[in-house]
Amino acid sequence: MSFPDVVVTGIGATTPLGGDAKSTWDGLVAGRSGVTKLQGDWSERFDLDVRIAAHLAVEPTEVLPRVEARRLDRCEQVALVAAREAWADAGRPEVDPERLAVVVGTGIGGALTILHQDDLLEEHGKRKVSPLTVPMLMPNGPAAWVGLDLGSRGGVHAPVSACASGAEAMAWAWRMLRSGEVDVVVAGGAEACITSLPVAGFSQMRAMSTRNDEPERASRPFDAQRDGFVLGEGAGLLVLEREDYAKARGARVYAKLAGVGTSADAHHITAPDPEGKGAARAITKALTTGGLSPADIGHVNAHATSTPVGDVAEAIAIQSSVGSHPVITAPKSALGHLLGGSGAVESMATVLSLHHGVVPPTLNLENLDPRVQLDVVAGEARDVKLEAAVNDSFGFGGHNVALAFTRV
């Protein structure tokens, strides 16, 4: 039995580097950082150890109509902004609504809504609680609103796999398209939870950088002096289509999503398998389903959050599954960690690396950890002739997702 190939025909994003895909990509290639001091006074009020974050470069309320924005949690807002850009970039396909699906993952969902509405309930009673509270806080909210916006009747799904959610959405879309269930899927991830409780929780885990005096230098994947991730916010959405369908309508194609791989560590609720075995299995599955060999892979867009344990485990996984030859980059050094949105935004970056033959630099890599035996791009972007690349994503709970892309 033959399965249809899956191609990327549209991209959209809103991130700490820019309010759209182009400005985000340009920022990555230029080596700009989106990390700044935390906005608001709550970090001082709660005496938090972390005082930095990667806030959105463009407020979604400046893009969306005011009335619409008020009905949405910030996580839902960024998903809609990115989805509309991706849909327009794909040429607004005239697809049968029953052959159109949406898959948008998130790690946390409407955190800002649930915390704000709880404050209102505590301070003013039930009459101040919004009747839109539940639609705004539910983790499937971003997917649901994108589905409503596009009129999708082929399915609306919301994988919640912590920081692998956006990548898992892409894998889910790939399987739907390969099965012939639908013709077009808008897939990706969204997250917006820069507020006191998530920051305090991650900080208490000692997972976040406290390089508060040097925000732009705080996220330093694979560097020997890394001390944790920087929380970011944003969304990335891609339009995926069956290749035959895309060709029939004359669509511009960026790249092919050739294969996907998923696995679970079964090791620890937050810590990765230190030997990277689960991550390596996911990467190997992505190559196998894509009909690729390790030698085919010229680039890996790494999850690399800048945590002491995670970066080394990932480096071991890449080396054992693909080898030491691919050119590596770690976008979280510039974007911060977008949690459920990261895998999708970084998939977009992987696609554009293939499309343009350019790998963005990893920021703040001054002293490569000797345990990382990889070719990590630092300093400036590197021109590389690429035919195939992998984007990997991992999440609390032991979720591992790898996506293999190829040139067309």
Q: Which whole-number Å values give the CA distances from 383 to 21, 298, 323, 331, 408, in the listed order?
A: 20, 12, 20, 16, 18
Quick check: helix, strand or coil at residue 229?
Answer: strand
- The domains of the chain are located at 6-406
pLDDT, one tens digit per residue, over 227-264 is 999 999 999 999 999 999 999 999 999 999 999 999 99
Q: Which two tokens stand for residue 210?
A: 């406290």
Active-site annotation holds for 193: no
Report the CATH architecture of 6-406.
3-Layer(aba) Sandwich (3.40)
Average pLDDT over residues 104-123: 97
Q: Let me know: does 401 contact 282? Beta carbons within 8 Å.
A: yes
Q: Strand 388-395 to strand 399-406: parallel, antiparallel, or no bridges (unpaired)?
A: antiparallel
The predicted pLDDT at position 2 comes to 79
Q: How many residues does the chain have?
A: 408
Q: For residue 23, give the H/E element and its range.
A: helix 21-30
With a cut of 70, say whether residue 1 has pLDDT above it.
no
Of 403, 43, 397, 147, the C-alpha closest to 257 is 403
Percent of the chain with pLDDT over 90: 98
Cβ distance 221 to 337 under 8 Å? Answer: no
What is the pTM (predicted TM-score) of this model? 0.97
Catalytic residue among 163, 182, 358, 372: 163
Over residues 169-174, mean pLDDT: 98
| Each residue's pLDDT tens digit, 284-330 | 999 999 999 999 999 999 999 999 999 999 999 999 999 999 999 99
